[in-house]
Structure 1
Amino acid sequence: MSKFSLFLLFLVAAAVIGGGVFLSAWDIPAPTAKVEKVIPNDQFPK
């Protein structure tokens, strides 16, 4: 492999690992908006 290919492979691997660490450490807040949806009775089996 050329040095550029090796550098590019290392860069992609570092980005994937860094993204995984970021997503595992990110404290995503729970949704707080209340959602209400009316479902007609026709959609349920009898």
Structure 2
Amino acid sequence: MKAFSKFLLILILLVLGGAGVFLATWDIPAPTSPVSKTLPDDRFPR
């Protein structure tokens, strides 16, 4: 049982490390559509 838990821990660490490397190197494209939102004047106190 001790060998299985050690294997499971190593497997989890490898998966987390691989996911971290993937997210660090992934070139996420920037959004292409502009965002515009009109805010009412009464929302901001003077």
RMSD: 1.1
Give the 4+ runs in structure 1 shifted more than 6 A.
Answer: none
Q: How many residues end up aligned between the 2 structures?
A: 46
- TM-score, normalised to structure 1, is 0.91
How far apart in 2 are the matches of 1:30 and 1:42?
Answer: 33
How high is the TM-score relative to the length of structure 2? 0.91
**What percentage of residue pairs aligned between the two structures are identical?**
54
Q: Which runs of 5+ in 1 are unaligned?
A: none
